[in-house]
Amino acid sequence: MATPWDVLRDAGVPEGPPRPAPTGALDVAAVTAALRTLAATDRLAPAERECLAAWLGAFRRHWPDRFDAILGSLGASLLARYTSGDLDPNRYLKLRRIAIANLARLV
């Protein structure tokens, strides 16, 4: 059984260096369920929080209508939560670029 993090990784959340970009369509139901689970438990490691923040930020910046339609207030609240900490701006930027490339194939 896939964990919420596995679902998000398959949806293009970067975990470090670029890897083959995901293909197919974004599984909206699985992604929103994974985000709800993470929002309720908040058990992400600092590096995972940074990766998810970059993905959420890229999604909101480049596909704002789709972000709002798919993730809505849940996505906005998680983005605020995960970007409010002490992020390394260079790492965040690099992760966001990877997230943009991954999301471009899915959204």
Domain span at residue 32?
A: 4-104
Is 0.95 topped by the overall pTM?
Answer: no
| 24-41 burial code (b ≥16 CB/10 A, e <16) | eebeeebbbebbeebeee
Is the pLDDT at 17 greater than 80? The verdict is no
Crossing angle between the packed helical segments 89-104 and 46-62, to the nearest 10 degrees: 50
Q: How many domains does the chain have?
A: 1
pLDDT digits (tens, 9 = 90+) for 39-89: 999 888 989 999 999 999 999 999 999 999 999 999 999 999 999 878 889
